[in-house]
Amino acid sequence: MPRTRRRLHALFIAAISILISSLMLAVGGTAAADAITDGQALAAPGVPGANNWSCKPTAAHPRPVVLVHGTFANGSVNWLVAAPALAARGYCVFVLTYGEKEGVAVLRAIAPVADSAAQLSTFVNGVLAATGASQVDIVGHSQGGMMPRYYLRFLGGAAKVHALVGLAPSNHGTTLDGLTTLAQSWPGALGIVASSCPACSDQVVGSPLLQRLNAGSETVSGVNYTVISTRYDEVVTPYTTQALSGSNARNVILQSLCATDFSEHAAMAFDPIALHETFNALDPAHASTTNCFSHL
């Protein structure tokens, strides 16, 4: 091949390579933008310190924290204390509201757990695309501590999550009495427990979903699990059923940290001692002793 033809051939190959790379970058950029948009659609409004989609993780806190609320609640109510406290510590914090069921106003986290886990997957993908992080940490309350386990085990979440902290999580379910007790705290919830709350059925002891979720190993490898429970839980009962088995699971009872802490189920997302231990779980290298004098 003459030198001129070889040169033209090389230039042609280089141009094609640049074109292909540009197309791949454009496609990748579009996918990332779509992921962010889809995640933002699930973001809970009005949470101080949360959902800054321009936030970039630091070397000190390289993983964004995703906060997942419990049954009947929403992200805006559940994390009014924890979100700003985490943001003040330098974390990128993201809060979603999930689990809407058509025809039921206001109340959230009542859709089937599997559907809610799919929403969590969408939200996490958006957070990762926006922040550039490779993994997140998840902190969940009640159903929000159990539902992410479905995402981790069945929806590919294990590769995207470093740690899961559950505050009073319904890991092995509860009784219908427990769900009724919870419903009494939310206007309109009591009437839908039996008829319009698939998530309630999923959280009853022995449900098909819980049997599948807990079959074999209760944890997945590569994820660090922390469960923080209170002896005074009147919703997920008995409180001992919240614990997980596995070498990568750590179970903590609130009263072993402070015997005079009488926080019950709903208060766990606001309790300074429970949240202090949560911060320790997120950053064990800089953990400090949690006791009755711990504060945010």
Angle between helix 113-131 and 143-154 (nearest 10): 80
**Which pLDDT does position 296 carry in this prediction?**
80
Residue 212's identity, in one-letter code, is: R
Beta bridge partners of 96: 43
Residue 64's identity, in one-letter code, is: P
Which ranges constitute the DSSP H helices of the chain? 3-40, 75-78, 82-88, 113-131, 143-154, 176-183, 198-202, 208-214, 254-257, 272-282
Q: How far apart are the first and last CA of the chain?
A: 74
Rounded CA-CA distance 69/145 in Å is: 8
CA neighbor of 74 nearest in space, from 35, 31, 44: 44
Burial class (CB in 10 A: 0-12, 13-18, 19+), 81: middle
Structure tokens at 183: 């419903």
Q: How far is CA 157 from the centre of its chain?
A: 10
Rounded CA-CA distance 247/292 in Å is: 28
**Which pLDDT does position 12 carry in this prediction?**
58
Per DSSP bridges, beta strands 65-68 and 93-95 are parallel
Rounded CA-CA distance 277/255 in Å is: 12
Q: Report CA torsion sign: 47, 198, 135, 254.
A: positive
Structure tokens at 145: 């501590």
The angle formed by the CA atoms of residues 110, 116 and 117, to the nearest 5 degrees, is 145
Q: What is the pTM of this model?
A: 0.88
pLDDT tens by residue, the chain, 296 residues = 566 666 656 655 655 565 555 545 555 678 889 899 999 999 999 999 999 999 999 999 999 999 999 998 999 999 999 999 999 999 999 999 999 987 777 889 999 999 999 999 999 999 999 999 999 999 999 999 999 999 999 999 999 999 999 999 999 998 867 777 777 776 666 666 656 889 988 998 889 999 999 999 999 999 999 999 999 999 999 999 999 999 999 999 999 999 999 999 999 999 999 999 999 999 999 999 999 999 88
**Which pLDDT does position 8 carry in this prediction?**
58
